[in-house]
Amino acid sequence: MALMLFVNHAGHEVPWVAHAAWDGVHLADLVMPCFLLLVGVSVALSLGPRASGPRRPLLRKVLARTGKLAGLGLLIQGGVGAGAFPAWDLSRLRYCGVLQRIALCFALVSLVVLYLPQTPSPRLQSLLDRGDESASLMAPFRFYALWWILGTALFVAFNWMALFLRPPGCLARPALTADCNVAAYVDARLLGRSHLYPWPSCRRANPPCEYLDPEGLFATLSGALASTFLGLWFGAVLLTLRGHRARLRSWAYASVLLTELGLALHVTGAVPFNKNLYSASSVLLTAGSSGAFLGLVYLFTEVAPTKIFERVAAPFMWLGMNSIAVYAGDEILEKAIPWIYWGDREIHLLSAVEGAFKRVFGEGAISDLALAAADVVFWMGVAGWLHRKRWYAKL
């Protein structure tokens, strides 16, 4: 959550922080995949143990949460093409967005967990109970085999379309350039160009894109959903394995393997890392890095906790406990503050704060980074105050 706040405000003058214009890996490109992997982990932990019971109450909760997330996303980002917030020109309403992508992935993997049964193996369970190392590596795959079969099939099918279909007017195959790709074509056909994000980072690419939604529907199904399925696997490890060592070993092997596969696809040029398209290499590489991050957090919170780590991690935990409130608050405040201005619409609280940082740190990257860090600290303070009051925004 802290990284998301930071990259949202530090990318104007610092290219390696902002989203890559097209191919490549920048800091901002790691945020959404990590969120989605953790969504998968949470779905596995919350719904997995209860999937064998009555499903209808759980389904109602899943659908309600999906609707709330998507609705809040439309409220916050839907009017992005309509001018001043909070104006929503329905002819240009942006259907896709950060929360809408999370909502769709959450809904789909939740349905998988609820309606695809586990596939227990008494023999494997017996080996697992005796501490067999090979059994601990196989158990998460064997016990939830139907999840991985479906997830792999969807990933392969959508990436086959991304690589081998050629949109009208495109000369090359695979069509993976900013000005010619399957994701932009499908989204434009299904949603309409006027309903896509109007200022994508690929406008800075060479050649630039004419239109593309970075949270578009096709990329969500071809890549973002796979990140969430991989999160299910990391959660399945927690459900299946009991010892800290077995869990960390499984996560470490998976993180290294995913990272190596992603790097191999990117370095060889077979499938370049591309967050706009959510390419296969970006899915694998970000899942590997996110899995390693999850393992480190688990190590310092569950296996070898220390007072120092608890104190350092507390502000980050506050952000996580109220992530919806912090995200919505940051998005809304940034758009709402300019409503109140002094004489000129460009003279308002936000411009005054930005001006103060530029006077202290000068024009350029240092000022940008300092302002972004201050934004993170501000929301840590807000989240800490909400935590002390025991106020948590939940959907």
Which residues, listed in sequence order, are joined to residue 180 by a DSSP beta bridge? Answer: 177
Query: CA 204, CA 207: separation in Å to the nearest integer?
Result: 8
CB-based contact 254:234 (threshold 8 Å): yes
User: Does residue 6 fall inside a structural domain?
Assistant: no
User: Does residue 8 fall inside a structural domain?
Assistant: no
Confidence of residue 218 (pLDDT cuts 50, 70, 90): very high
User: Does residue 3 fall inside a structural domain?
Assistant: no
Collapse the DSSP code of 152 into the 3-class scheme (helix H, G, I; strand E, B; otherwise coil) and give the result: helix
Single residue among 266, 284, 305 that ends a domain in this structure: 305
Does pLDDT of 133 surpass 70? Answer: no
User: Does residue 356 fall inside a structural domain?
Assistant: yes
Say what the pLDDT of residue 86 is.
60
Say what the pLDDT of residue 83 is.
44
316 and 293, same structural domain? no
Say what the pLDDT of residue 45 is.
95
CB-based contact 337:348 (threshold 8 Å): yes
376 and 301, same structural domain? no
Q: In total, how many domains does the chain have?
A: 2
Say what the pLDDT of residue 81 is.
45
336 and 295, same structural domain? no
CB-based contact 205:193 (threshold 8 Å): no
The DSSP secondary-structure symbol of 51 reads: T
Which residues, listed in sequence order, are joined to residue 341 by a DSSP beta bridge? Answer: 348
Q: What is the pLDDT of residues 241-268, one digit of tens each?
A: 888 999 999 999 999 999 999 999 999 9
Does pLDDT of 52 surpass 90? Answer: no
Does pLDDT of 63 surpass 70? Answer: yes
Q: What is the pLDDT of residues 69-122, one digit of tens each?
A: 999 999 888 775 444 456 677 888 899 999 999 999 999 999 999 999 887 777
340 Cα distance to chain centroid:
33
Q: What is the pLDDT of residues 361-395, one digit of tens each?
A: 888 888 889 999 999 999 999 999 999 999 999 88
Say what the pLDDT of residue 106 is.
98
166 and 54, same structural domain? yes
Q: What is the pLDDT of residues 147-190, one digit of tens each?
A: 999 999 999 999 999 999 989 888 777 788 999 999 999 999 99
Say what the pLDDT of residue 13 is.
67
Q: 145 CB contacts (<8 Å, ≥6 apart)?
A: 119
237 and 122, same structural domain? yes
314 and 211, same structural domain? no
Query: CA 3, CA 365: separation in Å to the nearest integer?
Result: 17
Q: What is the pTM of this model?
A: 0.92
336 and 246, same structural domain? no
User: φ, ψ for residue 263 (rounded to 5)?
Assistant: -65, -40
Does pLDDT of 230 surpass 60? Answer: yes
326 and 229, same structural domain? no
User: Does residue 278 fall inside a structural domain?
Assistant: yes
CB-based contact 72:328 (threshold 8 Å): yes
User: Does residue 261 fall inside a structural domain?
Assistant: yes
Say what the pLDDT of residue 82 is.
42
- Strand locations in the chain (E): 176-177, 180-181, 341-342, 344-348
User: Does residue 301 fall inside a structural domain?
Assistant: yes
316 and 277, same structural domain? no
Collapse the DSSP code of 95 into the 3-class scheme (helix H, G, I; strand E, B; otherwise coil) and give the result: coil
312 and 299, same structural domain? no
263 and 131, same structural domain? yes
Say what the pLDDT of residue 180 is.
92
Q: What is the pLDDT of residues 280-311, one digit of tens each?
A: 999 999 999 999 999 999 999 999 888 899 99
Single residue among 271, 305, 339 that ends a domain in this structure: 305
Say what the pLDDT of residue 16 is.
86
Q: Which domain holds residue 376?
A: 307-395
Mean pLDDT estimate for the chain: 89
Single residue among 285, 305, 325 that ends a domain in this structure: 305
User: Does residue 10 fall inside a structural domain?
Assistant: no
Please give the full DSSP string across 210-244, using - where no structure is assigned. S---TT-HHHIIIIIHHHHHHHHHHHHHHHH--SH
319 and 232, same structural domain? no
Give counts: helices (H), strands (E), the chain: 16, 4
CB-based contact 107:63 (threshold 8 Å): yes
